[in-house]
């Protein structure tokens, strides 16, 4: 049964260039088959980090991300795992060791709801909380022994502006992201002495498939609500993640940073 949960699609080792004798860093990016996760995986590969491209369903898309990472000269694998499943998460990390010790975790996998709270079923509520919050607990808990072994680590949680201000019609989503922000701050305090930093990135509206649930008119309203006059792109988020996992950010932890084009609601 376990084998059905996880599936290493491709272990593609490109001989790791050890230009300056530094140890090769390995990042796990959850939900990296598309959207923000995809952009983060590719951006990290550009910095020479080996990347584990986690996905749940979209194998072909994940494989394309692997190939794009390989084109940057780094090793990459795609690993199928539902990050709400405790055993699958354990196996995701075991699979990652094919590249080395994972010392970077980007908790990106997530989904949104759209509708009034009074119409939300308990199943829908649990699905959102499991996907957006419990997965972060499971993956972060699993990451800690690997990061301890490595000697330091970086955890970046992809939150949302709605976790800061709340959002009508997206109450479960906003609640999951608000809790993620509190989890980020708590974990940062627990793990600081291990040189593991934990930060959250809380984007405003970013143009991905997730926006498909909104009408064209609603999307134009979102642009109007954004002072810089455009929606964000996945690369806007990826640039910030790149900084947060860099050596330059070793004193930055427990923060919720919001790339949002100036939007404050």
The Cα 94–Cα 158 span in angstroms is: 23
Of the two residues 147 and 206, which places its CB atom closer to ligand NDP in the complex?
206
Give the residue from 25, 22, 21 showing the smallest Cα distance to 52: 25
Q: CA 223 from chain center: how many Å?
A: 24
Q: Which of residues 119-138 bind ligand NDP (CB under 6 A)?
A: 131
Catalytically active residues are 173
Q: In what order do the strands lie in the sheet with 26-29?
A: 7-12, 76-80, 50-55, 26-29, 102-107, 153-158, 196-201, 256-257
The interface mask with ligand NDP, positions 144-183, x = CB under 6 A, is --------------x-x-----------------------
- 236 touches ligand NDP by CB under 6 A: no
Segment contacting ligand NDP by CB under 6 A, of 32-40, 89-97, 142-150, 241-249:
32-40
Distances (CA, A) of 236 to 50, 139, 176, 241: 21, 24, 22, 9
- 200 touches ligand NDP by CB under 6 A: no
Are 183 and 129 spatial neighbours (Cβ–Cβ below 8 Å)? no
Minimum separation from the CB atom of position 28 to ligand NDP (A):
11
Read off the tokens for 183. Answer: 């989890």
Candidates 44, 50, 53, 55; binder of ligand NDP (CB under 6 A) is 55
Candidates 6, 26, 27, 34; binder of ligand NDP (CB under 6 A) is 34
The Cα 63–Cα 7 span in angstroms is: 12
Of the two residues 24 and 263, which places its CB atom closer to ligand NDP in the complex?
263
Candidates 37, 102, 153, 178; binder of ligand NDP (CB under 6 A) is 37
SS3 80: strand
Minimum separation from the CB atom of position 121 to ligand NDP (A):
18
- Binding footprint of ligand NDP on the chain (CB under 6 A): 30-31, 33-37, 54-58, 82-84, 108-111, 131, 158, 160, 203, 205-206, 208-211
């Amino acid at each position: 049964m376990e084998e059905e949960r996880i599936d290493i699609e491709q272990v593609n080792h490109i001989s790791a260039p050890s230009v300056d004798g530094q140890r090769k860093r390995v990042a796990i990016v959850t939900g990296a088959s598309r959207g923000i996760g995809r952009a983060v995986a590719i951006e990290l590969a550009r910095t020479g980090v080996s990347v584990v491209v986690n996905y749940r369903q979209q194998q072909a898309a994940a494989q394309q991300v692997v190939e794009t990472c390989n084109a940057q000269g780094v090793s990459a694998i795609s690993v199928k795992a539902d990050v709400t499943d405790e055993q699958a998460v354990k196996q995701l990390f075991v699979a990652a060791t094919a590249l080395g010790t994972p010392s970077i975790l980007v908790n990106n996998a997530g989904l949104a709801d759209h509708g009034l709270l009074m119409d939300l079923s308990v199943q829908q509520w649990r699905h959102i909380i499991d996907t957006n919050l419990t997965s972060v607990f499971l993956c972060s808990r699993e990451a800690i022994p690997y990061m301890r072994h490595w000697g330091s680590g970086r955890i970046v949680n992809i939150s949302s502006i709605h976790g800061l201000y709340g959002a009508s019609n997206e109450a479960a989503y906003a609640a999951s992201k608000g809790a993620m922000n509190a989890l980020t701050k708590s974990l940062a305090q627990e793990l600081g002495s291990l040189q593991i930093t934990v930060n959250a990135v809380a984007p405003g509206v970013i143009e991905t498939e997730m926006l498909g649930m909104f009408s064209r008119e609603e999307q134009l309203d979102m642009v109007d609500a954004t002072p810089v006059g455009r929606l964000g792109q996945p690369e806007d988020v990826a640039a910030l993640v790149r900084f947060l996992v860099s050596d330059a950010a070793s004193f930055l932890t427990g923060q919720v940073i919001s790339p949002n084009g100036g939007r404050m609601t």
